[in-house]
Amino acid sequence: MMTFWKLLNLEVKRLVIPFVIMAIMVAAVQMYGAHAMARHTENEAKEIMAREKLATVQQLEELHGLASYADVIRINQSPWIILPIGLCIAFLLFYLFFVWYRDFIGKHSFMSRLLMVPASRHHIYFAKLFAPLLVIFALLAVQLLVLPVENRYYNSLLPDEMRVEYPLNYLISAIPFLRKLIPLSAEQFAFNYGMGIAAVIVLYTGVLLERSFRLLGLFGAIVYAVAAVYIATIPLGLGDHWFFYEKARLLAGIISVIGALSLWLSLYLLKRKITV
């Protein structure tokens, strides 16, 4: 077990710099976005007041309501929020794909060193699975911390009588993209991230198939991935005589089976078939 923690530590260390860059980028871009949106709200309010000849902010409020950060980001589907998260997702997808290949570079790659560690090879697999997951959850935590801060910052730039403050869950609900990343119910959270983990396991299986059987393995990996996606989406095509919760449960069941099967296959390949 100690080996697992050491390997996980090694993998996490390799992700620290990208994580710091991503966290700073998310915070900086979203804070700038909050600033820009506050200025935009202020200018818009002044324009409306001038156009409609309103003397006070109270009159503006009576006619147009109060401004809130949640409403602003919902109406604009704020690119200041979506863009940095999108960039992080793109990087993490790239990382998940290359987390194995990176260690296979060179004639005698670092993978050969890892495979010769005197512990079960399962530890290597789980270290490579959990390290990106830890970073993903750490980024979610950063997002959850930054969102109220940018909300406060936005509000601090506007006059008190012009704005209203909403709680964090209202902010998260404002952008569907954000709502998918940070589901507000535990069940939905487990479902979304369970699906994500299963997808990563299928991806890793594909990579290990390719690494074990090279060209033939690549073909096998493509067939495996297509079959996994096809089987996983069967419940989505079921007719209306199925209740939504029935479809969801069936989907969760199928994805669990695919994930478990892929995990078993990955571990088998890593133990018996991998070639460096």
Partner 1 sequence: MIELNNVKKRFGFRTVLSGVSFQAPKDAITCLTGLNGTGKTTILKSIMGLTPIHGGTITIDGSPLHHTSYERIVFVPDQLPMPGRMTVEGCLEFMSDHYRNWNPERAAELTQMFKLGLQDRVGSMSKGTAAKLNLLLALAMNADYMLMDEPFSGIDMFSREQIASVFSSELVEGRGVILTTHEVKEIEHLLDYVVMLDNGRITKQFACEDIRLAEGKSVVDVMREVYET
* Chain residues in the site for partner 1 (CB under 8 A): 3, 6, 10, 103, 106-113, 115-121, 214, 216, 272-276
Of residues 103 and 150, the one with the C-beta less far from partner 1? 103
Residue 205's CB is within 10 A of a number of other CB atoms, namely: 26
Q: Supply the minimum distance, in Å, between the C-beta of residue 20 and partner 1.
A: 16
Vertex 152: Cα angle to 82 and 28 (nearest 5)? 45
Report d(CA 128, CA 131) in Å as an integer: 6
Nearer to partner 1, 51 or 107 (CB): 107
Q: Which helix (H) or strand (E) holds 92?
A: helix 79-101
Rounded CA-CA distance 143/132 in Å is: 16
> With contact defined as beta carbons under 8 Å apart, do 177 and 85 qualify?
yes
Q: What is the phi/psi pair of residue 105, to 5°?
A: -70, 135
d(CA 268, CA 276): 15
Q: Minimum distance from CB of 118 to partner 1 (Å)?
A: 4
**Residue closer to partner 1, measured from CB, 103 or 210:** 103
Q: How many CB atoms are closer than 10 A to CB 14?
A: 14
Instruction: Report the nearest approach of partner 1 to the CB of residue 104 (Å).
Output: 11
Q: Indicate the residue among 171 and 269 with the shorter CB distance to partner 1.
A: 269
Are the C-beta atoms of 194 and 252 separated by less than 8 Å? yes
For residue 19, the minimal CB distance to partner 1 (Å) is 16
Residue in 73, 54, 36 with CA at minimum distance from that of residue 161? 54
Kindly state the smallest distance separating residue 114's Cβ from partner 1, in Å: 9
Smallest gap from Cβ 272 to partner 1, in A, equals 6
